Structures are given as C-alpha cells and as structure tokens.
Structure 1
C-alpha cells in the first residue's frame, strides 16, 4: 500500500502552529514511507473563507518547507461531486430530507441539554415525505444501534455508541454540502490512507466512518494528535504569544528551528533534542506520538533557535536575515557583505530580529550613543586614545582585521595603556554601544569612512561633555 496523507486546513485565518504541527506529522509520515502528501483547502465555509487566508496558509507551508506532491485542492470546486454522492445516499436510503423548523430544532437542543443527552436530533423526518422542491436540508441516516469502533494510531481502540450520534446534516438548505460529508468524499477520491489531525476531530471520525460504510468505501486509518496548550494549561491562543506560523518568521525564528520544536511537542526519540529534517524523515512514526497534550514553551523555542543560528551556514542565515534588515529600512547590498556580518554576529543573537538590530550599525550611522556606554567610556581621558586611533586609521591602507588589530595594539603600546583602554572607547565611538564583535572585525566591516566619521562624533561628544562639566 502506498501511503497517502493530507493536510486540510480551513482558510478562515492564519496558519496556526497547531495546524502546522499536524501538517508536519502528516508530511513526515508520508516522507518516511515513500508516500504522497496532499494539500486540500476546506473552504466550504464561504462566508468566513478568504483568499488572504488561503495565501497565508500557502505562504506558511512554503516557509516551513512542507512541500506537497498534490494540490492545493479546493472543496468549493467540487460541489458537483459532493451532490452526486448525496443523491446516491438519498437513493440508497442512507440519507433523507428534513424540513424541521429552526424553532423545533432549538427546542430539541434545549431539551437534550437539560437531560444531558448527546443525541440532538430525534429523527422526526426519517420516514416522512418532504417535498424536494421546498426548502429542506439533507440528513445522514445514522445507525440507531451498534458501536463504531476504530484503531486510532495515537489513542488505540476507540468505541462510540451510535446512540450518541444524531442524524447530521450533510447538505444545508442553500444546497451547500457540510464538513463531514465533504471530508469523506475527498479522502476517498484522493486515496487518503492515513488521516492525521487534531484531537478535536476524534468524535467526527465516528460520524465519518458511518458515512464510509454507507457508501461501501474503504475506511482510512486515523490518528488524532493531542492539542497544544499554553503554559497555563489552557488551549494555546494569542494571549500566550504568537500562534501564527508567519508571526514566527516576523519575530526572527528560523523555519528549521520551529519545525524541530513542533515535532518535539508530543513526539520523542530517546533524549535527543536536535533533529535535522533528514533524521526526522528516518525516525518519525505517528504511533510514537504521546496521547497527552503538550505545553508550548517559548523559552525552549528560543534556545533551539539560537542553536540553529549558531550552527547554520552563514550564507543560509544571510538569505533569511536580509528580510529583517529590510524591515529596518536597510539595504544590505549598500554596505559590508551580509555573510561576513552573519559570521561576526552568529554567537550573539537568539533571533534574526535581534541579529538585524545589533547589526544595523554596520550599514548606517546612529543618532546618539548609548547613555551608559558613553558615560563610562567617552570621558575626557579617552580623547587622546581616540585622536591617535583616528590618525592611525586615516593613514591605514591595509583594512584587514589582522592589520587593524595590530594598529590598535600599536596605539595602546605607544600610550602605555592596556589594549582595553583604547579598544573600548573606540568600540563605543564606532558602534554606539559597549558590545560588538571583536574590535578588528568591527572596524573592518564598518569601513574606513564611517569609522572616521563616528570617531569625530565621539570627540565632539567628549568636547560637549567637558563644556557641560
């Protein structure tokens, strides 16, 4: 059997990290078994579905690298097929028309809630003639007795009494098919062998299995993964921080770090924390996913992201960092090689946003010095070291890090000062703050003209400080 999995989001909003994890599990399962991963857009909720949301889903999938072999398929393009199946169910007696009023249904629902019952609809129209030319819905005739049983690949054996399942609507009054019917038809037509989705669909599996049986179609394997919770035990939502996949891009996370983190929410392989995509495709199995819900921990994600920043190829990071430099209004082509900047900053940032922010000084002058750094380092005693460094830098032709390092050492020796007494005021003058990569690399990447210009700014600052004193 060729494994075929699918990811089937509803385009009513952004791609949620919970949905991304489901997509990842489905993608990995197909990859491991040499199967096919299908993307299906379940857009039958026409009022809430938007093109913007579709694009957000596609963009999120692309950013994460979750490539699909087939799709995207859109349910709104398949209404003719759904109605064909509904007509087949009507003809076989597995479905019937219902014209119960909203008032009657509301009364039934209220009574069921009072009695603590599960079955909301009482089958009033099951054996009643309903004129097809007048407004009506179509309901699936669910078995009234027996048990729906299936082996969930995460939870094991699941059994639901048919008495708990009412005759669900499969076509609305306006002629639109409903979720449980469209999903069954799509999974059958697309040859889906394994349905991997969230725990909140576990009850739907029982309804869908009954529809599969009524149509005489082969039932896929099901795996329902537990929801992701916030650190307070509530379902993950915006109040816990970012939940949109693309917000993590905006916040400077690497796609591979987010993938690594998401796969570990409910799945493990011994004590291993870091996995390449190749490793995951070899090791992942849906049957190893935990039944219990997982807790999202942003600090753990930041730790992982920092690991990936430190260990990634600088060219790859530069490609991703360019976007964040642009967000700061910086054109990285107008300045030092971004790959060299990444090499200098790789050990110093947890996110690409942080890396962009601490690297901005390489590309543009700052308006003012960090107050604490200037107070400590741009004092009158720093005037002579800065003036000598300026003169030495202005006459320096070899702008390599090695030559610049030697130049700082030479000035320090000539003034009989420790190197830090020269390098630190120089760093604050050139960078605007007390922290940066090594002074030699910093000078080299900032460039000669900018270094001289900023040292002049620092000397003016010292002059103004003396005047104020």
Structure 2
C-alpha cells in the first residue's frame, strides 16, 4: 500500500508562470508538513509543448522541491481509465452522448440545474435514435462522447480553506468525442492509484471537487482532503497569464527576482530565504485567503518575438 501523499500535476502545455509555481510549492509544503509523500504527475492527455514537462520539473528541483516515487505520465495510463470506465458501464452508469457544444448551449436547462449544466439530452434515447446519431457523427468524422449517468443531485465536499463546497452534479463527460479521457475521470483514477489523499490546487478548480468526490465513491476510492488556494491575479484582477509580461521563473530569475521571498510574502508569512525557511514556517492556519496581485515586469522585445517560449 502506498504511503499517503500530496501531489502536483501540471499540464506540459508550456512553461509555468509564477502563479502555477506558487500553487505547486503550496502543494509540496502542505504535503511535507503533514507527514505525506509528494508525488508528481504529468497531465499530458491534451496539449503538449516539447520539453515543457522537463523544464517544469527542473524548475521545482532547482527550488529544492523533492519528489517521491516515479514521475507519472497520464499518457502511459490509458488502460487504467478504460478499465474504470468499463466498470462504471457494467453497472449501467455510462451512456453515449452525441451533442456538440452548440447543442448543449442551446438546450433548455434541466429543472433545478445551474445554467450550462448538461440537461441529459442523450440519456434516454432509443437504440434506433442512438444508431441514427452515431451515423450522423460518423458522416461528420466525429464519434460520441461517453457520459456518467448521475442522479443529478448536489454533493457536498469539505475544503480546508473554503469550507463546505456544494455543487449540482450533471452527467459529466468521461471520454471526449475525440477519444481523449476527460480530466475528471483521469485525475480520480490517478490519485487513487498514486496514494494521493490530499489535493492542494487553485480555487478555479473548486467546482470540480464534488464531481470528483462522486467518482471516487462510485469507483470505490477514498475521497481526498481538498484545499483550494487563492489564485494569483494580474493588476486588472484577471487570472495571471503569460501575455501579462515576464511571469515564468526563468524570465523572473533573469531579472533578479526573488522567487522564494515573493512566495512567502504572498502567502502571508513574510519573505522566505529558501525551502528550509518555508518548511519551518508554513502553517495552513496562517495562509492568506485572499488572491494575490502580481504586476509582472514587461517583456523584452526578444521575449515578445513570435516563437519565443
């Protein structure tokens, strides 16, 4: 049995910005100071930028972050997602969905469901209706998605920072129409197999926690302890993005930026000198609950040039 663990699971779509790094550091500190291992997963089912995964891990190692166990690639785990889906299907909990995004946006909402929730359009089709829909998608070069048949109820989940999170759970996608396994299924299966019982991540993902907790229940996996941390925003109050200026660790380091000092201050602890300071002083009870505003230095003309990573 694997030791209890926290994790960081970046997507290798490009270099991480300082907000991503801050969240990863928080996940590491929270795991280590609660006696857990710290695991690293590369979520490479979708967009992948060559070399990004290696650079991301190297940046954390340079900051003193140590990883326990092997690095996990989601692209190596497709059979695990397939097996989980087939187990749900055997219990009558999976159905094909033929809707496009436009179909879903234009469909009337189900009673008591929030705007944008999937209304269950394809849930109770006859077999002849399904066969017709399959042919229609095949003629357009598409395939049906797979959805989880839920009871469409609300599921509460406890969060260390946000309290009780409650969300209406619609029939979430398990496998997309392009054949890619969906985020909610993949992370639940991965966390269960990796011994992850603590999930620290940005609060933009808080609404996913009830869905993932339901999937844990259905797959016989323990629900992890959640902590959704405030994001780093730009001066306009929007989520920090690479277009805002020099925001990656490499760009900031070139300018003499003190990453550890800024991270410690942004979290409400004062400037840290390095990872030892952070491990000695970190306490979830003292963590700032407010978003942090970061005003990035401007990019140089060379950094702004097309093709620059």
**Unaligned ranges ≥5, structure 1:** 300-469
What do residues 391-411 of structure 1 show as CA deviations (whole Å, max 9, x unaligned)? xxxxxxxxxxxxxxxxxxxxx
Name the counterpart of 1:19. 20
**Alpha-carbon separation, structure 2, partners of 1:71 and 1:62:** 14
Name the counterpart of 1:10. 11
Which protein has the bigger strand share? Answer: 2
**Unaligned ranges ≥5, structure 2:** 298-309
Please, what TM-score do these two structures have when normalized by structure 1?
Answer: 0.56
Name the counterpart of 2:282. 284
Q: Is the 8 A contact 1:119 1:166 kept in 2?
A: no
**Alpha-carbon separation, structure 2, partners of 1:246 and 1:295:** 20
How many residue pairs match? The answer is: 283
CA RMSD, aligned part only? 2.6
Point out the more displaced range, 51-60 or 184-193: 51-60
1:69 counterpart SS class: coil
Q: 2:229 aligned with 1:225, yes or no?
A: yes
Compute the displacement of 1:10 (Å): 0.5
Name the counterpart of 1:151. 158
Which one has more relative contact order, counting CA pairs under 8 Å at least 6 apart?
2
Q: 2:207 aligned with 1:193, yes or no?
A: no
What do residues 110-152 of structure 1 show as CA deviations (whole Å, max 9, x unaligned)? 3459x9942432212223344699732210122223x211111
Which protein has the bigger helix share? Answer: 1
Compute the displacement of 1:293 (Å): 0.6
Q: 2:223 aligned with 1:209, yes or no?
A: no
Name the counterpart of 1:80. 79
Structure number, greater radius of gyration: 1
**Alpha-carbon separation, structure 2, partners of 1:6 and 1:282:** 20
**Alpha-carbon separation, structure 2, partners of 1:287 and 1:252:** 31
Q: 2:181 aligned with 1:177, yes or no?
A: yes
Task: Note closer, same or farther for the CA distance 1:19–1:70 as it changes in structure 2 (3 Å cut).
Answer: farther
1:264 counterpart SS class: helix
Name the counterpart of 1:70. 69
Kindly report which structure 2 residues correspond to 1:227-306, keeping only aligned pairs within 5 A, or say none.
227-238=231-242, 240-253=244-257, 257-268=258-269, 272-296=270-294
Name the counterpart of 1:386. none
Compute the displacement of 1:232 (Å): 3.6
Task: Note closer, same or farther for the CA distance 1:240–1:123 as it changes in structure 2 (3 Å cut).
Answer: closer
**Alpha-carbon separation, structure 1, partners of 2:103 and 2:177:** 19
What do residues 364-388 of structure 1 show as CA deviations (whole Å, max 9, x unaligned)? xxxxxxxxxxxxxxxxxxxxxxxxx
Q: Is the 8 A contact 1:154 1:224 kept in 2?
A: yes
Q: 2:130 aligned with 1:122, yes or no?
A: no
What do residues 333-367 of structure 1 show as CA deviations (whole Å, max 9, x unaligned)? xxxxxxxxxxxxxxxxxxxxxxxxxxxxxxxxxxx
Please, what TM-score do these two structures have when normalized by structure 2?
Answer: 0.82
Task: Note closer, same or farther for the CA distance 1:137–1:155 as it changes in structure 2 (3 Å cut).
Answer: same
Q: Is the 8 A contact 2:165 2:207 kept in 1?
A: no
Q: Is the 8 A contact 1:266 1:293 kept in 2?
A: no
2:15 counterpart SS class: coil
Q: Is the 8 A contact 2:4 2:195 kept in 1?
A: no
**Alpha-carbon separation, structure 2, partners of 1:157 and 1:175:** 34
Compute the displacement of 1:64 (Å): 1.8
Compute the displacement of 1:262 (Å): 1.3
Compute the displacement of 1:199 (Å): 1.0
Tell me which of 122, 126, 138 is aligned to 2:146. 138
2:207 counterpart SS class: helix
